[in-house]
Chains A and B, each alone.
Chain A
């Protein structure tokens, strides 16, 4: 217990860092993932090709490699100087979006083709059909797997410690430097993550229930 109480401030700051990273990367990956999914079902061959290449390239690259790229290789490219935190966010968003895209795309496949036909018959264009008719129904169909991807993202934020972005995954380093029992410290971190996942699970259940009524 001492490990936690003595270092409450450390834990607090670290988990705030985790939450911040997660929230930004979650929103970013959902938006980017939806856009890439839109590309993959679009009638424009170039967009489809781009989406396919993006997903296959990013999905098959280890997250550590992507984050290391942004940590060490990106600064050498000398494009725009970004903070470690921003680069961590970008890495997480790019990586997670590939998975979000595939989940949403499988959701799109569950929407009956008649929905898009009715929409086109009413005079909606491709973009409007996708955003107002197909996408909302697709997302509703894939809330559980989408939650999975987001929970994985939450845990993946710990890899950002390789970046000196301070978050929960970096707590044990400081604990061991100060001579605390690292094993106990890690258990508290695990509990912290468990607590963070609860709201996500509740959100999933809530959305699932609400949307299953509306069908």
Chain B
């Protein structure tokens, strides 16, 4: 892959949910190492956009490429590609019947066919990095939301992904737990991980994002640096959106 191949490329992507046109002609490129934060009011299609990138949501038309490879249809090829794309969900989705360490080692063992000793060593190292190594033998339901989300990040990182997708990672958390998750994400961003983050955390967007993409009604309305976006938004919809959140 050449230097200029974007890690994620979406071109002319359209998607409907029945009558609802949720994604309208989306064109977006995320270069390697960049952190893109997707903002927008609820129902603007930002979560759907995030989920189309690893084809959890299929698209009607357009092209999506990961590291230069077009997303294939459901099957082995797609599974292989998904293994390289880490995903963190709003509701954590840790495997409820597995311990935290098992959650982190399962995919390396079964998908990557890593040896058990190595998978556990990496797993524990990742859990240490997100600060919950001492919880490794507990089940997800025994952890707080913030701990679960950090475990979910470790689980995604265990696959050594090329890019990480975050679908509203802090929206289901109690306020006092939001920062522990954002800290882990900021750390990742600083290390040069390519990230696409759907969030409502404006502080994170300002602090860690290279770019802010603002969506409304299924369209990308603005695509700018955080500074430009927050201080001088161009569109009325972005001004309206920022006015609603930033006045509090």
Contact = CB atoms under 8 A, between A and B. Distances in A.
Contacts of A117: 56, 89, 93
Most interface-central of A112, A122, A133, A137 (chain B CB within 10 A)? A122
Contacts of A137: 96-97
B94 A214 contact: no
B159 A122 contact: yes
Given A132-B106, A215-B139, A215-B141, A125 B96 contact: no
A117 B90 CA distance: 12
Contacts of B93: 112, 114-115, 117-118
Nearest to B56: A117
A5 B9 CA distance: 81
Q: How large is the interface on B (under 10, 10 to 19, 20 to 34, 35 or more residues)?
A: 20 to 34
Contacts of A140: 97
Contact of B95 (A43, A115, A120, A213): A115
B248 interface: no
Interface in A124-180: 124-125, 128, 132-133, 136-137, 140
A120 B97 contact: no
Contacts of B139: 213-215
Given A43-B74, A125-B79, A137-B96, A120 B107 contact: no
Interface in B40-95: 54, 56, 74-76, 79-80, 82-87, 89, 91, 93-95
Interface of A: 43, 112, 114-115, 117-125, 128, 132-133, 136-137, 140, 211, 213-215
Nearest 8 CB-CB pairings of A with B = A123-B83, A118-B93, A114-B93, A122-B107, A121-B87, A123-B111, A123-B82, A125-B79
A114 B97 CA distance: 14
B155 interface: yes
24 contacts: A43-B74, A112-B91, A112-B93, A114-B89, A115-B95, A117-B89, A118-B94, A118-B152, A120-B56, A122-B87, A122-B156, A122-B159, A123-B79, A123-B82, A123-B83, A123-B107, A123-B159, A124-B79, A124-B110, A124-B111, A133-B95, A215-B96, A215-B97, A215-B141
